[in-house]
Structure 1
Amino acid sequence: MTTQEIADRLVSLCRRGQNALAQVELYDDNIESIESHSNRYKKTKGITKVQKKTAIFFELAQEIHHSEISDPLVAGNHFCIKISIDVTLRGLGRVQLEEICVFHVNNEKIIKEEFFYSPSLV
């Protein structure tokens, strides 16, 4: 798969709420995940830990009112997307989240993801 095909597949699955399937299909076993403003999950390494981090977010999400994922922008072995989500989080209430997500692809797998968002949203 090309970087464009991987990017398109990730967006397609995530738009349908199939984030876990996207990780199984597209992520490398040694995936590195970096959060710009998280203390607990600043840097996560390995597919099992990244899947756990994602599951925790969806467990905290009491209700997703609306979400939007942009089409991917691809450059070489990298691509980015913008995610906007209106969600009610346990213990925080309803929040609007916006982030830029950057992905690095190597050998037809996503080997790194990095999320950039405002620290006031965590």
Structure 2
Amino acid sequence: MPCYCSLIRAYERDIAKLEEAYRINERKNGTNDALESQIQTIKSRECAAYEANNIDEIEAAVDKLDAELRPARDRLGAAIMSKIGEAQQKKADYHRRDRDHHERERMRRMQSQSEGEGA
């Protein structure tokens, strides 16, 4: 039975990459929230009528963009979390297999040593 250390390291790298992808996806949703907040701040100031109209158009565009992107980002976030869970399960399985492999190797070495001493 082979050693699984390299596979475990590969899964650790994959999990780290997936976690970073999840953080990036979440930051994108935060960017939309920040734009909406800035629009509200600008609207709360005394603005000329034409500025208010422009702000309304910008707000409508941001709302539309957010309505289109947020569900997709939420699905992407859920898919990434699912893949992280799968990778963590596989990594745990390989940890168990690796531990069993190393324990068998240790037992085999001990048995070989005891047979060598007995001869």
TM-score, scaled to structure 2? 0.25
- Which of structures 1 and 2 has the larger relative contact order (alpha carbons within 8 angstroms, sep 6+)? 2
- The structure in which a higher percent of residues are helix is 2
Higher-Rg member (1/2)? 2
- The structure in which a higher percent of residues are strand is 1
